[in-house]
A and B are shown apart, each in its own frame.
Chain A
Amino acid sequence: MTTMPDDRPPADLTGPAPVTLRSRHLLGIAGLDADEIQLILDTAEAMKEIGTRSVKKVPTLRGRTVVNLFFEPSTRTRTSFEVAEKRLSADTLSIATATSSVTKGESLLDTVRNIEAMAPDMIVMRHASSGAPHLLARMCRSTIVNAGDGMHEHPTQALLDAFTIREHKKRLAGLKIAIVGDLLHSRVLRSNLLLLNTMGAEVWACGPATLIPSGLARLGARITTSLDEAVEEADVVMMLRIQQERMHGHFFPSVREYFTLFGLTRERLRRAKDDVIVMHPGPMNRGVEIDSEVADGAHSVILEQVSNGVAIRMAVLYLLAGRDNGGSEG
């Protein structure tokens, strides 16, 4: 086939991945070992390069159909997956709850089986119920990619976070990483805890006592309710979104008090290492969990996280597609 020079991927990205993942689904960081995490991060580096070209497209997933099934509102993650799929030349289709038949009372399995009847190869799913992608993986044919399930996992977020940290720190092992905010309801926390512990980082979790899940220490976090202690000498500070509605569950009295105790300001960031990076999975509440000065400041890598999200999702889709035979391009 005739291609523009930039349309040609590196030789090792033309067909199915030579080394792949053990599972045919990506349901969570749970189940990935250090080698697999490493493989995804390394693959994402090659993918990131594609995003710097003038023609940002490789034919790797040409002829493959990927369905993005979002049962929860999401702009960033859905767009990121869509861009990743398009850069890999997959045929993509995005379904959001408002336009699906879910509102007509159809069950999740029936919805997905109807979509499967149209023979997609992969389903990328965001769902408000923890374990929903696990149900699909058990009952359906397609490869399932978890784009966030309830309060459980958000594996591609943790992977893009690790990728971003690695770019700045050249390593993950031995870093002090503080994760601050609504720990109880956060799937980002859970996936990051699993990944960062597997890779040998030291993770501190900080939030109000009302938002610390039971058993968190056993999940691999050092726990503190003091933001200063969490930030002290940290290499990375990762802020989690705090939902303002949480006030109604008696989790905290007011946004004002939350910001006083747990909001990240330039002042408080001074306790961290000089080269600390500040992260946020988005969407941010400026003035609630993070001060604008910090969000837009020199230590912030928040927009890099978004760029890296595309590379990570390309890597994941590519590696998972490599597990099926078919679809290889000449």
Chain B
Amino acid sequence: MSVATKLILKGGRVVDPATGTDGMFDVLIEDGVIRRVAKDLPVDGAEVYEVPRGAIVAPGLIDIHVHLREPGQEHKETVASGTASAVAGGFTAVACMPNTNPVNDHAGITQFILKKAAEAQLARVYPIGAVSLGQKGDQLAELGEQKAAGCVAFTDDGYPVATALLMRRALEYAGMLGVPIIDHCEDPSLKGDGVAHEGYTASALGLRGIPGVAESLMVERDVSLAELTGAHVHIAHMSARQSIRAVRAGKERGVRVTCEVAPHHFTLTDEALEGPVQYDTNLKMNPPLREAADRDAMLEGIVDGTVDVIATDHAPHHADEKMVEFDRAPFGIVGLETAVPLVFDRLVHTGKIPLSRMVALLATNPARAMNLPGGTLAEGSVADLTVLAPDMPVTISAQALRSKSKNTPFDGWTFRGGVAATIVAGRIVYRA
């Protein structure tokens, strides 16, 4: 990435949980690295970025659950459009899921994705490799080679790691390499051909249900296997209250388990399916929107620390693919450009979490969970920063999204809180 030699951010409130910083400081960046965080730094020929009044300078936000769709589904998203969406949403780095076509189960595909990311020069991209060849649940992919090529974690996302035995071996093997296994937790037999949360709303609308325990059963399995192996398991997109309980219990007994929640799962419930637009396929995702008790459990887990990371599960789909019968539509919504407004509006401004916890959930903890550079403004770290504007009014317009796909349920919604600027390796890549 090209690097501005010197950039100075003047006059912002710096919030960095990793170093325990919260105060008015200038930040000096040189050669893509944070040199100093201190008061009244001399400009000394540096390019100056005046931090807007009331804005927050945070370590660059990192979304560890993104589908960039390249290679194979470039009509939905590309590495270039996905990273443009990322930086517009305040994310300086994304980790991308392996369910591309072909599946990212070989070093060549990881290298291809990294090449595309280098060409785009926007957000950093950290590929996540498949656990099993073709995500078929049979044979372990070459995790060692994949790690050497740049993979930061492994998952069969879209599917759970198929069997307890494969999960056990994957955890042992990835543990040896020092990287986590991420699991999309879902018991396939209980999920069946379900398309919505099993409960009153699905029954009223005649939609096939997926019970919360379809998720938590698999979370229980994974927590037990992480305990057995001593390896690190990361639970993707938690949605069921039973899953929060399972992770909390695992953490209490010292299991190396971390987990993430997506903004739509702490914001919406399945009642949204009843209208104003009935059967809106932009409300169809997997795991599904669940009932209020589940949504509240996500909020509780975010507040009490059970939830480590907020990740979007950014899942772009073309409008034509979504403009079909509900049960035929693909699962997923885009999330990169709506995450910060949702976190501000629903978590920070409601008093549920302080700003420092927001930064921890979106930057510090994602970096730690996936062993990534960044996530801190410590002197000497990579100069990835996000300037957050807590009071910026943001009205989401699906058509105006940078993502190639517009499948968001938040079109037309207004939130308080947004992104003023995104800086990657000392270069301003996005300004509101």
Chain A interfacial positions (CB closer than 8 Å to B): 107-109, 127, 129-132, 134-135, 138-139, 149-153, 187, 190, 213-216, 218-219
Contacts and interface: CB of A to CB of B under 8 A. Distances in A.
20 contacts: A108-B324, A130-B206, A130-B279, A130-B326, A131-B207, A131-B278, A131-B326, A135-B324, A138-B277, A149-B206, A152-B206, A190-B204, A213-B202, A213-B203, A213-B209, A214-B200, A214-B209, A215-B199, A215-B202, A218-B200
A151 B193 CA distance: 13
B407 to A, nearest CB: 15
Contacts, number: 70
B221 interface: no
A219 B206 CA distance: 12
B386 to A, nearest CB: 38
Interface string B184-219: 000000000000001111111111110100000000
Contact of A107 (B207, B324, B326, B327): B324
B324 A109 contact: yes
Nearest to B206: A152
A254 B326 CA distance: 32
Contacts of B208: 151
A130 to B, nearest CB: 4
Interface string B272-308: 0000011100000000000000000000000000000
A279 B117 CA distance: 65
A135 B206 contact: no
A149 B200 CA distance: 18
Given A127-B325, A131-B279, A218-B200, A151 B209 contact: no
Contacts of B320: 107
A35 to B, nearest CB: 22
Interface string B309-336: 0000000000010011111100000000
A151 B206 contact: yes
A111 to B, nearest CB: 11
Contact of B279 (A134, A190, A213, A216): A134
B382 to A, nearest CB: 46
Contact of B203 (A129, A135, A153, A216): A216
Nearest to A191: B206
Nearest to B196: A130
A218 B204 CA distance: 9
Contact of A219 (B204, B279, B324): B204
B241 to A, nearest CB: 15
Contact of A214 (B202, B205, B323, B326): B202
A130 B205 contact: yes
Nearest to A213: B203
Contacts of A129: 325-328
Contact of B206 (A107, A109, A150, A218): A150
B328 to A, nearest CB: 6
Nearest to B195: A130
A70 to B, nearest CB: 15
Contact of A131 (B205, B211, B323): B205
Given A213-B203, A216-B203, A130 B323 contact: no
A214 B206 contact: no
Contacts of B205: 130-131, 152
Contacts of A109: 323-324
Nearest to A212: B203
Contacts of B211: 214
A248 to B, nearest CB: 12
Contacts of B328: 129
A130 B207 contact: yes
A55 to B, nearest CB: 40
